[in-house]
Structure 1
């Protein structure tokens, strides 16, 4: 199942990752509160820094709707 992961980072940034497997979201969620939240996207290891909280939205976000 693919969807959109929404990550709130310590530096007040919000990162939205679209079209990701739910397993990747679970991997990120398991690292919430850690200093370095890492996951592999498109064969690259990405470090998002400190992330908390994270949310999952099944499917894609309709940006025209005003999320």
Structure 2
């Protein structure tokens, strides 16, 4: 299942589209840690501190708003 992970960080919100639910679960387990990271497109990405994180199944329709 693919969807969009929505990460809330100190000064920004990050949307990661078209990711497997397992990536979301990996990030969710690290919520509240100083260095939240995961592997995206064969690269380790460090998002820093993330809390909370949400999941939206499928892609976000940016023209409609959700």
State the TM-score, normalized to the length of structure 1: 0.95
Corresponding residue pairs, total: 66
Establish whether residue 2 from structure 1 lines up as the match of residue 2 from structure 2.
yes
Higher strand share: 2
* Aligned residue number for residue 24 of structure 1: 23
Unaligned runs of at least 5 residues, structure 2: none
Calculate the aligned-residue CA RMSD, in Å.
Answer: 0.7
State how far apart, in whole Å, the 2-side matches of 1:35 and 1:20 are: 22
SS at match of 1:28: helix
Unaligned runs of at least 5 residues, structure 1: none
State the TM-score, normalized to the length of structure 2: 0.97
* Aligned residue number for residue 64 of structure 2: 65
SS at match of 2:16: strand
Superposition misfits of 4+ residues, deviation over 3 angstroms: none
